[in-house]
Amino acid sequence: MPEVPGRNPSAEKEFRALCSTLHLDAPVVRRFIGDYLRLLQFRLDRIDRDLRNGDVPSAVVGLLSLATSSAMLGVDDVAGAADELRRQAAAGDLAAVSEGQLALVQRAQAAELRLIRMEAVDPRTGRPAGQADHGRTA
């Protein structure tokens, strides 16, 4: 089948796989992705603030929450970085915490781009949501 302009087969495949993994319909998964993306920077900022203020228990809770929701969305690199940072913070390793925060932010930025592409896919057409079909079938 010829490539359809504007189509993102990789994002479409990932989105469908996520729907299947979560056993949820596309609108619910799209909402979950959207909520995750809307909260991501707030969560990262709060974790950073808690760590800078020495509030390790609050940082640990935030990191656990971020790791869990990231794992549910298949962003395992963010989940892993959050788990590693949680262990470093609990151990009081300040040098490792600084490096861990940087790794978490970098992985979160990459995951954000991937999730934005997934969220934008209309699973019926494989095109960005809201893009006209112009008589073509996916």
pLDDT mean across residues, the chain: 86
Name the H helices within 23-125.
26-52, 56-72, 76-91, 94-119
Burial of 40 (0-12, 13-18, 19+ CB in 10 A): buried
User: What mean pLDDT do residues 42-70 have?
Assistant: 96
**Cα–Cα distance measured from residue 42 to residue 118, given in angstroms and rounded to the nearest whole number:** 21
Q: What is the pLDDT of residue 95?
A: 82
Q: What is the pLDDT of residue 93?
A: 86
What are 76-132's pLDDT values in tens digits? 999 999 999 999 999 988 788 989 999 999 999 999 999 999 988 775 655 566 554
Q: What is the pTM of this model?
A: 0.82
Which region holds residue 137: left if phi is over 0, alpha if psi is between -120 and 50, else beta?
A: beta
* Annotated domain spans of the chain: 10-120
Statement: residue 138 has pLDDT above 90: no
Q: What is the pLDDT of residue 8?
A: 76
User: What mean pLDDT do residues 59-86 have?
Assistant: 97
User: What mean pLDDT do residues 5-30 have?
Assistant: 87
